Amino acid sequence: MSALLELIVLLIFIFIWFRPVLKRKKEAGGYVDRKTEVIALIFGLIPATIVLLLCQFALGWVFKLTGISDHRMLVGALKAFVMFGAIEELTKYAFARLALKKYETLKKIDIMVIFGLVGMGYEITESMMLGNVFAGIARGIFVAHIMYQFIMGHFFYESIRAKNQGNDAVARRNRIFCFAIPMLIHGFNDYVIDLISVIMGETENAGVSGLASYAEMTNSRNIGIIVCVLVMILLNLFCLIWGLKLAKKDPEVEVTLK
């Protein structure tokens, strides 16, 4: 039931935030066809499940092998920044590039839409898998994965544009931003979500004796949770505003990929 609720919220806000971008692509006369858009969405839907499950299994095995599985905060950080930040964003980049492989010339809006559709596939899949209902709904409202991919698509476009103009230094800088910014934002967002779980779990399992001590710990927990929630909301709100703003900037400018 919670997964269905998260999915409904997500689909509503995909319609609100993504539909105007598709309209902008149509008005700009983009080169990417509907078939490529569907393929990009499928790339996000199917590999998402496979990659996430494989990463969960592989990292769990590594944690046990290295003996760090009992270090809750360290495990949470590694999952957030390595699995969800680095591996997931690199996978999304790879499938977005695969979807665009047949094109030699593209407009900026084409690139951002395809990157966004791959992110949409991941978002839909994770909405069905995520255990934290609040985090799922919050991410659905801000369409977090789509905005991470809009940001990635923008810097990928900027790197190709600089390369077309013969400015290799700017191209390298934007290619670094293309990977680094979504990875860090995504990793930090998921680490904050994990931190909320840690705070709640520590309080529930603390075994505190005495009403005064319990009340003090409960108040500290509530403050910690509120701070984490505000950080998560502000971060994703910033990404939403930034991503939509980037989609409006120079949508008709063309770049040559090959």
Dump pLDDT digits (tens) for 34-57: 999 999 999 999 877 787 778 778
Q: Which DSSP state fits 106?
A: E
Q: Would you state the pLDDT for residue 220? A: 73
Q: Residue 74: is its pLDDT beyond 90?
A: no
Which residue has 């709100």 as its token pair?
237
Mean pLDDT of the chain: 87
Between the ranges 4-8, 47-51, 131-135, 228-232, where is the mean pLDDT highest? 228-232
Please check the confidence at residue 236 and state whether its pLDDT lies above 50: yes
Q: For the residues 90-106, what does the mean pLDDT come to?
A: 94
The reported pLDDT for the residue numbered 206 is 46
Pairwise CA distance, residues 244 & 18, whole Å: 9
Please tell me whether residue 249 adopts helix, strand or coil conformation.
coil
Q: What is the mean pLDDT of residues 101-129?
A: 92
Q: What are the structure tokens assigned to 192, written together?
A: 């904050």
Q: Could you report the per-residue pLDDT of 156-214, keeping only the tens digit for each?
A: 999 999 999 999 999 999 999 999 999 999 999 999 988 888 887 654 444 444 444 54
Tokens of 154: 């923008």
- 53 or 9: whose pLDDT is higher? 9
pLDDT at 103 over 90: yes
- For the chain, the first-to-last Cα distance in angstroms comes to 47
Vertex 230, ends 249 and 84: CA angle to 5°?
65
Q: What angle do CA 100, 181, 228 make, to 5 degrees?
A: 125
How many C-alpha atoms does 230 have within 13 Å on its Cβ side? 6
Which pLDDT value is given to residue 81?
94
Of 220 and 252, which is predicted with more confidence?
Answer: 252
Are 100 and 142 spatial neighbours (Cβ–Cβ below 8 Å)? no
Contact 138, 236 (CB under 8 A): yes
Q: List the chain domain ranges.
A: 2-256
Sorted by sequence, the CB contacts under 8 Å of residue 120 that are 6+ apart come out as: 14, 18, 41, 44, 143, 145, 146
* Single-letter residue type at 158: E
Would the pLDDT of 219 be above 80?
no
